[in-house]
Structure 1
Amino acid sequence: MRIALVGYGKMGKIIDEIAQKRGHEVVARLKETPTAENLNHPDVVIEFSLPEVAFDNVKACLENNIPVICGTTGWLEKRVEIEKIAVENNTAFLYGSNFSLGVNLFFALNEKLADLMKNVVEYSCQLEEIHHIHKKDAPSGTAISIAEGIFKHNKKFDAWKLDETKDNQLGIFAIREDEVPGTHSVFYRSEVDEIEIKHTAFNRNGFALGAVVAAEWIKDKKGNFEMKDVLGL
């Protein structure tokens, strides 16, 4: 495939390397706003940039009828608008708060545990995420996805908040530490014990590989998708 990379930081460079190892041609490496000219006619765009520019980047690509894999978090208040643009332009959009295979399995496990715990009133719930000090948004998109998975099964919660859980708001502790690629934990605590599930990323390679796999999967598809569609979860 011909792949254009929009956003060329640490993640973009790892995606570049993995895409080429899998036999793809990287036809653009952009730090600026994508256009029909500088995208260089790709089959798909992989977008990992910054929250403040992600919407404009994705919109420009979709309006040029190019499918987009987007891993930028912190801009999702405009996701519905982007999904509408994808449909209007008869192309495809796939958003992932995290492209790691392990994290997406963790999402499924989190929902299963939330369903088991929904009527066990003795336990309170709390989330924690740890990331490197360069991360722009807090909480992480992955933590928000975990929280939303809990909301689906536990009607006690209908919103998240930073720090302690309070009433119907599920608390998320967002910690920024050194060069940590990403650690996410869900805790259920009672007066007598604690249940914890946890995912720890050792490096960014799993995220990058998942993004390339998603790009391979989305070719010739139309509509809006998530990583669980790619993995059949």
Structure 2
Amino acid sequence: MKIALLGYGKMGKTIEQIALKRGHDIVLKIDKGDTNYDITQADVAIDFSIPNVAFNNISNCLNNGVPVISGTTGWLDDFDNAVNLCNEKKGAFIYASNYSLGVNIFFELNKTLAKMMTNLKQYNVSMEEIHHTQKLDAPSGTAISLANDIISNNANYNDWKLEEAGENIIPIAAKRIEDVPGTHTITYESEVDTITIDHVAHNRQGFALGAVIAAEWIVGKTGVFTMKDVLNIG
């Protein structure tokens, strides 16, 4: 399979290593500011770029019939436009805030726990995410996905806020510490006890492997998908 890497930072380089080990070819490595390239060389594109270029990367792929996997966060104001373009062009597109298998299982645990806690109003939920100092957006896309899943499955909450608590609000604390790949913690606390679930990434390998697996899966398909489709979970 011929893969285009849109974004060639630490994650792009890790994806490259895993893709090569799995027998794929990297035909494009596009970094910041690169615009003069032929995306049609690729069977599939994997976008781990930066927020202000992600939608252009995705649009370029869809306009040229190239399936695209995006793990860039911070661009989701244009997500509906990407979905509409994918449907219009009969393309193939996956966006995930996190491609790790473990995190996607964690997403499902989070939804289940949120449903269970709906009638236990004595518990207040809060979240914390920790990432490396190079991460540009806060809170993380994974934290936003987790918060939105709580809101969808627990009638006691209708919004989340960064570093801000309030009635019906999920407060999210975002910390940036050097060399932390990603930690997400969800806490339900009452006067008598605390329930906590968390996911701790040890390195970038899990994120990168999931992205390559998603790229392998999407080739030949048409539509907008999620990692639940790829992994057949939930």
Please say whether Structure 1 and Structure 2 have the same fold, judged by a TM-score greater than 0.5: yes
Cross-structure match for 1:85: 85
Work out whether residues 129 and 184 of structure 1, in 8 Å CA contact, stay in contact via their aligned partners in 2. Answer: yes
Aligned counterparts of 1:25 and 1:169: Cα–Cα separation in 2: 46
Cross-structure match for 1:21: 21
Aligned counterparts of 1:229 and 1:145: Cα–Cα separation in 2: 16
The aligned runs of 1:6-45 (5 Å cut-off) are 6-31=6-31, 32-33=33-34, 37-39=37-39, 41-45=41-45
- Which runs of structure 1 show a deviation greater than 2 angstroms over 4 or more consecutive aligned residues? 32-35, 37-40
Quote the RMSD (CA, aligned, Å).
Answer: 1.1
Aligned counterparts of 2:136 and 2:13: Cα–Cα separation in 1: 19
Amino acid in structure 2 at the alignment position of 1:55: F
Aligned counterparts of 2:35 and 2:220: Cα–Cα separation in 1: 21
Classify the secondary structure of the residue corresponding to 2:206: helix
Unaligned stretches of 5+ in structure 1?
none
Cross-structure match for 1:211: 211
The aligned runs of 1:1-233 (5 Å cut-off) are 1-31=1-31, 32-33=33-34, 37-39=37-39, 41-233=41-233
Aligned counterparts of 2:195 and 2:181: Cα–Cα separation in 1: 24
Classify the secondary structure of the residue corresponding to 1:152: helix
Aligned counterparts of 2:123 and 2:149: Cα–Cα separation in 1: 17
Aligned counterparts of 1:64 and 1:109: Cα–Cα separation in 2: 38
Q: Are the structure 2 counterparts of residues 40 and 87 from structure 1 closer, same or farther at C-alpha, using a change threshold of 3 Å?
A: closer
Work out whether residues 3 and 25 of structure 2, in 8 Å CA contact, stay in contact via their aligned partners in 1. Answer: yes
Q: Percent identity?
A: 53
**TM-fit CA distance, 1:216:** 0.4
Aligned counterparts of 1:232 and 1:166: Cα–Cα separation in 2: 36
Work out whether residues 34 and 61 of structure 1, in 8 Å CA contact, stay in contact via their aligned partners in 2. Answer: no
**TM-fit CA distance, 1:168:** 2.1
Aligned counterparts of 2:56 and 2:207: Cα–Cα separation in 1: 23
**TM-fit CA distance, 1:39:** 2.6
**TM-fit CA distance, 1:40:** 5.1
**TM-fit CA distance, 1:89:** 1.0
**TM-fit CA distance, 1:28:** 0.5
**TM-fit CA distance, 1:52:** 1.2
Aligned counterparts of 1:165 and 1:93: Cα–Cα separation in 2: 35
TM-score, normalised relative to structure 1? 0.97
TM-score, normalised relative to structure 2? 0.96
Work out whether residues 185 and 197 of structure 1, in 8 Å CA contact, stay in contact via their aligned partners in 2. Answer: yes
Aligned counterparts of 1:96 and 1:59: Cα–Cα separation in 2: 16
